[in-house]
């Protein structure tokens, strides 16, 4: 059993090294490996922090409202920590699988790579927006606007209740 764990670690490190590819022509970098979720739009693979491109998720301490009683003419709402809720949804979705992120060589203000990440070829950025766990960050990209419209129409995730856009919440907290 111990031999298998040792071999597994070597194998996974080898895979990580193989996926850590730098393409000088397009300045594209691919990171792959097991992920630590920092919050709803930031993950870490090995020592590399990656901010999910084109989306913005509620902050960990952000409070939103969700309906707990819907009557014919009105709804009653309760407060919940939507940032924590979204972070947990991302952790559940990733479920200790190897994730691949395609990033460019530019970093954001906080020194994080900006990237699009995949679980078994499923775009995680898109999944978060389409399920109402994040919004399209149109200040930087319009890639996920149509998926936000789907979530809003279906009233899923944070769209089922009331919330401030994450950038508005951050500005208010300054």
Which residue of the set 100, 112, 130, 148 is catalytic? Answer: 112
What is the pLDDT at residue 74? Answer: 79
Q: What is the pLDDT of residue 7?
A: 54
| Residues ≥6 apart with Cβ < 8 Å to 165 | 56, 135
Q: Is 170 a catalytic residue?
A: no
Strand partners, 28: 23, 104
For each of the chain's 174 residues, which pLDDT tens digit applies? 555 565 555 445 544 444 444 433 446 899 999 999 999 999 999 999 999 999 999 999 999 999 888 777 777 999 999 999 999 999 999 998 999 999 988 899 999 999 999 999 999 999 999 999 999 999 999 999 999 999 999 999 999 999 999 999 999 988
For the record, the structure tokens of 83 come out as: 């940032």
Of the candidates 51, 128, 53, 129, the one whose C-alpha atom is nearest the C-alpha of residue 88 is: 128
Domains annotated for the chain, with CATH where assigned, are 2-173 (2.40.50.90)
Active site residue 51: yes
**Which is catalytic among the residues 51, 100, 130, 148?**
51
Spatial neighbors of 150 by CB under 8 A, at least 6 apart, are 130
| pLDDT value at residue 68 | 84
pLDDT of residue 9: 53
Q: Given this model, what pLDDT does residue 4 score? A: 53
C-beta separation of 119 from 76 below 8 A: no
Residue-level pLDDT at 173: 87
Q: Is 112 a catalytic residue?
A: yes
């Amino acid at each position: 059993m111990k031999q298998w764990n040792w071999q597994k670690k070597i194998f996974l490190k080898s895979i990580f090294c193989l996926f850590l590819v730098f393409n000088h022509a397009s300045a594209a970098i691919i990171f792959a490996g097991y992920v630590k979720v920092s919050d709803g739009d930031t993950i870490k693979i090995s020592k590399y922090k990656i901010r999910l491109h084109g989306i913005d998720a509620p902050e960990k301490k952000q409070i939103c409202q969700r309906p707990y009683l819907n009557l014919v003419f009105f709804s009653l709402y309760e407060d919940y920590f939507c940032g924590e809720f979204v972070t947990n949804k991302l952790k559940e979705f990733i479920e200790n699988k190897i994730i691949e992120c395609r990033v460019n060589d530019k970093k954001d203000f906080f020194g994080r790579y900006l990237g699009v990440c995949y679980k078994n070829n499923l775009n995680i950025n898109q999944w978060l927006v389409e399920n109402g766990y994040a919004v399209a960050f149109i200040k930087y990209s319009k890639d996920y606007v149509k998926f936000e419209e789907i979530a809003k129409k279906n009233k899923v995730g944070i769209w089922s209740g009331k919330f401030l856009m994450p950038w508005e919440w951050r500005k208010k907290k300054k």
